[in-house]
């Protein structure tokens, strides 16, 4: 008879680490975070420098290939991605199977998973060329699929991608152009969109990226792995937080109500948390939140919008950062705190916020997936557990139970 209580005591090298707070699951050369100092580097470059000086596709090149591209490499990479922006016409039938009021993240989980049914020729994970083609396809098609989810939800026809536009401009076009009127491109807004994509491109082994790697470790095809990442991103503790921040700011409604919500956030018997605050790794200001805050001011200025939610958000930040509870726990605003206000001002409905995060993070997911497949030490991911059920006991036949 096995005594399961003794099993763990007698097993060598067993680590119990809920939430994997101190377990490294892989080696990675992509992203470095010093959470105490609030530093984020992609392949050695500071996120602030990349956001100020690069296009999103330059950052994608950096993450996928290890270096920032020179002019020729940039032109080729832009071309390679742009070449794949269209989706198979048959895929649009998928959308028609969904209810119009479906959450666009639900739609995205479905249509991205379905890509493997359309692009069989890039699902051989052992072929380096197929891996690269799948990477381009995913990065290129994600904005198209996301914009289609939006257009379907509002009953407008889909817009085909326009390949003379940049990645961010093309996305704005597919989202907001209508047959009667082309979307008027404002360079400040296009830059803000591009910057938002850069800020969300990769963030080491967070829940969705770990999900992509774990799914990939079994040899699943890249489209299926990214669909798994999208599902994981959806939760309000992760990518769903940008949507939750706006909902929360609307609930607070006025500066006078901030203290009441701060009190709720501190109450351990109340499940409410300040959305957009706190991070598993950052115990300092999230460097992406600073860039996002700047973007937020720029966008509102260009649009001539005076959004009381921005004022409310800044006041909430000020009050929280001078509150002992938040100071002691090192809870600072994260990237999602200001992104919702930017996106709302640009005309995105709240339900699309997490979708935009998924569009940007696809680059990181794909780069991480590729890195894991190319890692000679890679193994199928298989966490252990601490069993808490009954120890071995004799079987009881049905008539004796
Ligand atoms: N509001 C109030 N209290 C909080 C918050 C918050 N937003 N975040 C953490 N805390 C408290 C916890 O209650 C806990 O307090 P205790 O020690 O008294 O029990 C302490 O701070 C530590 O919190 P944990 O939950 O242990 O921290 P963890 O690292 O597991 O969680 C997380 C990080 C999930 C991001 C958390 O801070 C959170 O829920 N924040 C709000 C949601 C959010 O903004 N998510 C976006 C994350 S960033 C991203 O995905 C882009």
Q: What is the 3-state secondary structure (H, E, C) of 345-388?
A: HHCCCHHHHHHHHHHHHHHHHHHHHHHHHCCCCCCCCCCCCCCC
Distance of CA 279 from the midpoint of ligand 1 (Å):
6
Ligand 1 near 279 CB (within 6 A): yes
User: Cβ(330) to ligand 1 under 6 A?
Assistant: no
Atom number, ligand 1, closest to the C-alpha of residue 203: 51
- Residue 40: what pLDDT? 97
Q: Is the CB of residue 108 less than 8 Å from the CB of residue 355? A: yes
Whole-number Å distance, alpha carbon 276 to ligand 1 midpoint, is: 9
Atom of ligand 1 nearest to the CA of 200: 51
| Residue 14: per-residue pLDDT | 79
Is residue 329 lining ligand 1, measured as CB closer than 6 Å? yes
ipTM for this prediction = 0.95
Atom of ligand 1 nearest to the CA of 277: 7
Residue 183's region, left for phi above 0, alpha for psi from -120 to 50, else beta, is beta
Which protein residue's CA is at the shortest distance from atom 22 of ligand 1? 329
Ligand 1 pocket check for 117: Cβ under 6 Å:
no
Nearest CA to ligand 1 atom 34: 237
| Active site residue ranges | 279, 336
Residue nearest to atom 9 of ligand 1 (CA): 278
Closest atom, ligand 1, to C-alpha of 233: 50
Q: What's the pLDDT at 223?
A: 97
Kindly state if the Cβ of 386 falls inside 6 Å of ligand 1. no
Q: Does ligand 1 have an atom closer than 6 angstroms to the CB of 273?
A: yes
Closest-CA residue, ligand 1 atom 31, reads 280
Distance 379 CA to ligand 1 centre (A): 31
pLDDT at 24: 93
Prediction pTM value:
0.92
Identify the residue whose C-alpha is closest to ligand 1 atom 26: 280
CB distance 265 to ligand 1 below 6 Å: yes
The atom number, within ligand 1, closest to the CA of 207 reads 50
pLDDT score recorded for residue 328: 95
**Does any ligand 1 atom lie closer than 6 A to the CB of residue 335?**
yes
- Residues paired with 31 in a beta bridge: 42
Q: Which residue CA neighbors atom 3 of ligand 1 most closely?
A: 273
| pLDDT at residue 7 in the model | 83
3-class secondary structure for the chain? CCCHHHHHHHCCCCCCCHHHCCCCCCCCCCEEEECCCCEEEECCEEHHHHHHHCCHHHHHHHHHHCCCCCHHHHHHHHHHHHCCCCCCHHHHHHHHCCCCCCCHHHHHHHHHHHHHHHCHHHCCCCCHHHHHHHHHHHHHHHHHHHHHHHHHHHCCCCCCCCCCCCHHHHHHHHHHCECCECCCCCHHHHHHHHHHHHHCCCCCCCHHHHHHHHHHHCCCCHHHHHHHHHHHHCCCCCCCHHHHHHHHHHHHCCHHHHHHHHHHHHCCCCCCCCCCECCCCCCCCCHHHHHHHHHHHHHHHHHCCCCHHHHHHHHHHHHHHCCHHHHHCCCCECCHHHHHHHHHHHCCCHHHHHHHHHHHHHHHHHHHHHHHHCCCCCCCCCCCCCCCCCCCCCCCCHHHC
**Is any atom of ligand 1 closer than 6 Å to the C-beta of 61?**
no
Burial class (CB in 10 A: 0-12, 13-18, 19+), 155: exposed
Contacting residues for 349 by C-beta, under 8 A, at least 6 apart: 150
Mean pLDDT by 10 residues, the chain (401 residues): 82 86 94 95 98 98 98 97 95 94 95 94 94 97 98 96 96 96 94 97 97 97 97 91 91 95 96 93 91 91 87 92 94 90 92 95 98 94 92 96 96
Cβ of 263 less than 6 Å from ligand 1:
no
Looking at the chain, how many residues does it have? 401
> For atom 39 of ligand 1, which residue has the closest CA?
237
Q: Is the CB of 237 under 6 A from ligand 1?
A: yes
Mutate to test the pocket of ligand 1, among 278, 316, 323, 327 (most ligand atoms within 8 A of CB): 278
């Amino acid at each position: 008879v096995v005594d399961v209580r003794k099993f763990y005591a007698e097993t060598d090298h067993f680590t119990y680490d809920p939430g994997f707070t101190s377990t490294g699951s892989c080696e990675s050369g992509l992203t470095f975070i010093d959470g105490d100092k609030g530093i984020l580097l992609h392949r050695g470059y500071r996120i602030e420098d990349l956001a100020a000086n690069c296009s999103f596709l330059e950052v994608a090149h950096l993450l996928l290939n290890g270096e920032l591209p020179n002019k020729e490499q940039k032109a080729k990479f832009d071309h390679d991605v742009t070449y794949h922006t269209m989706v198979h016409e048959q895929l649009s039938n998928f959308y028609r199977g969904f209810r119009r009021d479906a959450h666009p993240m639900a739609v995205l989980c479905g249509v991205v998973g379905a890509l493997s049914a359309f692009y069989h020729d890039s699902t051989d994970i052992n072929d380096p060329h197929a891996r690269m083609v799948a990477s381009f396809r995913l990065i290129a098609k994600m904005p198209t699929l996301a914009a289609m989810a939006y257009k379907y939800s509002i009953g407008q026809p889909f817009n085909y991608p326009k390949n003379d536009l940049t990645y961010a401009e093309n996305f704005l076009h597919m989202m907001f152009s209508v047959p009667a009127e082309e979307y008027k491109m404002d360079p400040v807004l296009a830059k803000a969109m591009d910057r938002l994509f850069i800020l969300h491109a990769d963030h080491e082994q967070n829940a969705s990226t770990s999900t992509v790697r774990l799914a990939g470790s079994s040899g699943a095809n890249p489209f299926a792995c990214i669909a798994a990442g999208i599902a994981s991103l959806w939760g309000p503790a992760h990518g769903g937080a940008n949507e939750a921040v706006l909902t929360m700011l609307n609930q607070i409604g006025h500066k006078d109500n901030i203290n009441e919500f701060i009190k709720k956030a501190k109450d351990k018997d109340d499940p409410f948390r300040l959305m957009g605050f706190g991070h598993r790794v950052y115990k300092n200001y999230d460097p992406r939140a600073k860039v996002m805050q700047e973007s937020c001011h720029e966008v509102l200025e260009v649009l001539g919008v005076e959004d009381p939610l921005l004022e409310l958000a800044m006041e909430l930040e000020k009050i929280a950062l001078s509150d002992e509870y938040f100071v002691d726990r090192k809870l600072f605003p994260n990237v999602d705190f200001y992104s919702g206000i930017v996106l709302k001002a640009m005309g995105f409905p709240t339900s699309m916020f997490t979708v935009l995060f998924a569009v940007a993070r696809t680059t990181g997911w794909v780069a991480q997936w590729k890195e894991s497949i190319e890692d000679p030490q890679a193994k199928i991911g298989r966490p252990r557990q601490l069993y808490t059920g009954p120890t071995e006991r004799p079987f009881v036949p049905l008539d004796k139970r």
